[in-house]
Structure 1
């Protein structure tokens, strides 16, 4: 298992710098290529919503303003990438040129963001997201990468992280989603100095699943401690984050959306809580 291509969808916001720095630290650790993806909206898609009474000149002005706004945002992303990569001594990959790792690439693609991200995620090993404008990490683009493209995602919240994965906590509930997250995280786990398996539940929590995971990881040369945590009636997501933060973890590994996205959105759930409250990097897979 290896990480050779890391995709980072960015929109030209101030917090892009922190996300880029975290993603580049992961890219350098694995000697991978970091591909920064900027998706510009297609202004013609808004035409049906303008109505018949809008003059051609107004339409042209609106489309021109949209193009200029996208150009400016794209320029901010590319400038940030160029500076951060240059400061780190990581080269910009040239199309058709010699493959160098680690390296960075910049893509500017027109289309619907979730569709573009999903398409480019399918042949990526890891997709890195920041918090987004809604306070929920990654927005619909994260769901597109994880659910539609079936790829693991890394939430990079609040600040720059380097390293990512020196100390790892695994939120383990014996689900298929958690298993997918663990296998996706093997490159991190193999390099980690400390790995803790957190099983959150009631007082009579079965130690068996945690031990089974520890046995599996041992085959990969990873020694992990198993901690059984009594949630005492509290939400599992809240307890999981609290335990990971208390252990000074710099990577939490967990399954995403064991329940439906609609159920999580309406009544809450572990995934939704983590996406809204994560203060440390989180690797999720579905």
Structure 2
């Protein structure tokens, strides 16, 4: 297993700088190519919402303003990518140039952001997201990458992070989602200095599942400690993040949306809590 292509959806906001710094750190460690993706809105898609009484000139003015706004945002993304790559000593590849690793590349694609991100995630090894405008990391684009495209995502915290994965904690609940996150994280786990398996539940905790995972990781040359944590009445997401921070972890690995997205949205869940409160990098898969 290897990480060779890292996709980073960007919007031309100040927060892009921190996300890029974290993602470029991963790209440098794995000698991968980072692709900075700007999803350019198609102004014609807004036409059905303007109503019948809007004149052609007004429509053209609105579309021109939208195009200019997208051009400016695209320019900010390209400039931020080039600046961050230069600071890391990573070359920015020109379009059509011979592949070079590690490297960075800029991509400007017109379309709905979720659809563009999902389409370009399918042939990416890792998709990195920062905090969204709603306060939940990645917004709906993260769900598109993780659930529609079936790819692992890395949530970058508000501050830049380097290295990512020196000390790893795994949130383990035996779910299919957690298992996919573990297998996606193998490149990180094989390089980690220490790995801790966190089994969070009630008082009657069974060490068996954690030991089974530890046995699997040992086949990959990864030695992991198993920690059983009684969550008592607290939310599992809160306890998981607290335990990971307490052990000075710089990567948390966990399954995403073991329950339905609707259930998590209405009554909360570990995924929603982590997306809104992560202060360390989190690798998540569904």
Q: TM-score if structure 2 supplies the norm length?
A: 0.99
Cα distance in structure 1, aligned partners of 2:209 and 2:112: 41
Q: Name 2:77's counterpart in structure 1.
A: 77
Aligned-residue offset at 1:193: 0.6
Query: After the TM superposition, which residues 13-32 of structure 1 pair with which residues of structure 2 at under 5 Å, given as runs?
Result: 13-32=13-32
Q: Name 1:230's counterpart in structure 2.
A: 230
Query: After the TM superposition, which residues 46-65 of structure 1 pair with which residues of structure 2 at under 5 Å, given as runs?
Result: 46-65=46-65
Give CA deviations for 1:82-109 in whole Å, capped at 9, x if unaligned: 1111122211123332211000110000
Q: Name 1:246's counterpart in structure 2.
A: 246
Query: After the TM superposition, which residues 99-138 of structure 1 pair with which residues of structure 2 at under 5 Å, given as runs?
Result: 99-138=99-138
Give CA deviations for 1:102-148 in whole Å, capped at 9, x if unaligned: 00110000000000000000000000000010000000100000000
Query: After the TM superposition, which residues 1-286 of structure 1 pair with which residues of structure 2 at under 5 Å, given as runs?
Result: 1-286=1-286
Aligned to 2:63, the other structure's residue is in SS state helix
Aligned to 1:253, the other structure's residue is in SS state strand
Give CA deviations for 1:173-211 in whole Å, capped at 9, x if unaligned: 011000000000000000011100000001111110000
Aligned to 1:116, the other structure's residue is in SS state helix
Give CA deviations for 1:205-233 in whole Å, capped at 9, x if unaligned: 11100000001101111110000000011
Unaligned runs of 5+ in 1: none
Cα distance in structure 2, aligned partners of 1:88 and 1:249: 23
Cα distance in structure 2, aligned partners of 1:76 and 1:98: 25
Cα distance in structure 1, aligned partners of 2:102 and 2:176: 32
Cα distance in structure 2, aligned partners of 1:43 and 1:215: 53
Aligned-residue offset at 1:12: 0.4
Cα distance in structure 2, aligned partners of 1:35 and 1:207: 41
Cα distance in structure 1, aligned partners of 2:94 and 2:72: 23
Unaligned runs of 5+ in 2: none
Aligned-residue offset at 1:47: 0.3
Measured on the aligned residues, the alpha-carbon RMSD in Å equals: 0.6
Number of matched pairs: 286
